[in-house]
């Protein structure tokens, strides 16, 4: 096992996929365990199927677009650590912040 995601409902995942497919910047936070990142227990997937728009979002947030996971049909950037909380706060995604104890 390399990594594992949990803590999201199917409806949330489907809504994220729909938004990503429509070219929107969409945020999906879930619990996540990966041996490569000890101490990190959550990730926020920032997705958008418009790669130029997603790359511009990365630059706007001082993140390297080289780390975009260009996985069709749901390209995304993985946010972890302090930058994750900073951006979730900026986007006022309080439910995700509270539910995943990022306060």
Single pTM value for the model: 0.90
pLDDT of residue 5: 61
pLDDT of residue 3: 47
pLDDT of residue 2: 45
- Print the domain residue range for 37: 3-99
**47: CB partners within 8 A, 6+ apart:** 16, 19, 20, 25, 26, 28, 54, 74, 75, 76, 77
Low-confidence ranges of the chain (pLDDT < 50): 1-4
Number of separate domains in the chain: 1
Residues belonging to the chain: 103
């Amino acid at each position: 096992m390399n990594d594992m995601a949990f803590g999201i409902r199917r409806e949330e995942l489907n809504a994220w996929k729909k938004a990503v497919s429509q070219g929107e910047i969409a945020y999906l936070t879930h619990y996540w365990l990966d041996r490569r990142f000890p101490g990190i227990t959550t990730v926020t997937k920032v997705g958008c199927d418009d790669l130029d728009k997603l790359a511009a979002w990365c630059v706007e947030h001082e993140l390297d677009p080289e780390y975009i996971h260009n996985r069709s049909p749901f390209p995304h950037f993985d946010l972890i650590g302090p930058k994750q909380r900073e951006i979730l706060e900026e986007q006022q995604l309080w439910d995700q912040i509270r539910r995943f104890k990022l306060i």
